[in-house]
A and B are shown apart, each in its own frame.
Chain A
Amino acid sequence: MRKSACVALGLGGAVIAALAAGSAMAGQELGQPLPQRAPEKVYASVCGYCHGTNVGPIILGRKLAPALIKTMVRSGMNGMPSFRPSEISDAELNDLAVWIEKSKANPKEKGK
Chain B
Amino acid sequence: MSGIAMDRRGLLGAGVMGAAAVAGTAMAGPTGEGAMLAPGVSRGDLAGALKAMRAVVGDQWVSGDAMAVLPYAKNYLPDPSGRHRPVGAVCPASVEEVQAILKIANQYRQPVWPVSTGKNMGYGMTSTAMPGQVVLDLKRMNRILNVDPELCTALVEPGVTYQQLKDYLDEHNIPLWIDVPTVGPIVSPVGNTLDRGVGYTPYGEHFMVQCGMEVVLANGEILKTGMGSTKNPSAWQAFKWGYGPYLDGIFTQSNFGVVTKMGMWLMPKPPVYKPMVVRHKKVEDLPRIVEAMRPMRINNIIPNVVLMMSAAYQLAMFHRRSEVTQSTAPVSDAEVAKFAAAHDLGMWNTYFALYGTEGMIAESEKIVRGAFAAIDGEVMTQEQMHDNPWFHHHATLMQGGLSLEEIGLARWKGNGGGLAWFAPVAPAKGSETQGQIALAKQILGKYGFDYTSAFAIGSRELHHIIALLFDKSDPEEEKRADACYRELVTGFGDQGWASYRTGVHAMDLVAQQYGATNRAVNDAIKAALDPNHILAPGKSGIA
Contact = CB atoms under 8 A, between A and B. Distances in A.
Given A49-B404, A55-B405, A78-B416, A33 B410 contact: no
Contacts of B73: 82
Interface in B11-66: 60-61
Nearest to B142: A34
A93 B61 CA distance: 16
Nearest to A3: B67
A30 B185 contact: no
Contacts, number: 106
B186 A30 contact: no
Contact of B186 (A33, A46, A53): A46
B473 A86 contact: no
A31 B145 contact: yes
Contact of A86 (B146, B159, B171): B159
Given A54-B408, A78-B417, A45 B71 contact: no
A49 B61 CA distance: 27
Interface string A39-70: 00000011001100111100000000000000
Interface residues of B, dominant DSSP: mixed
A49 B185 contact: yes
Given A27-B171, A28-B167, A49-B185, A54 B71 contact: no
Interface in A64-94: 74-76, 78-87
Interface string B81-93: 0000000010101
Interface stretch (B116-124, B275-283, B351-359, B451-459): B116-124
A1 interface: yes
Contacts of B167: 27-28, 45
Interface size class of A (residues with CB under 8 A): 20 to 34
Interface size class of B (residues with CB under 8 A): 35 or more
Contact of B145 (A1, A2, A30): A30
Contacts of B185: 45-46, 49
B163 A45 contact: yes
A87 B186 contact: yes
A55 B70 contact: no
Interface string B106-124: 0000000000011101000
B112 to A, nearest CB: 15
Contacts of B389: 54
Contacts of B61: 86
Q: Which 10 A-B pairs have the closest CB atoms?
A: A79-B417, A49-B404, A86-B139, A78-B415, A82-B74, A76-B74, A79-B410, A82-B71, A84-B71, A55-B408
Interface of A: 1-2, 27-28, 30-34, 45-46, 49-50, 53-56, 74-76, 78-87
Interface of B: 60-61, 67-68, 70-74, 89, 91, 93, 117-119, 121, 125-126, 137, 139-140, 142-147, 159, 163-164, 167-168, 171, 185-186, 318, 389, 402-405, 407-408, 410-411, 415-417, 473
14 contacts: A28-B164, A30-B144, A30-B146, A31-B144, A32-B143, A33-B140, A49-B402, A55-B411, A76-B74, A78-B416, A79-B407, A79-B415, A85-B71, A86-B140
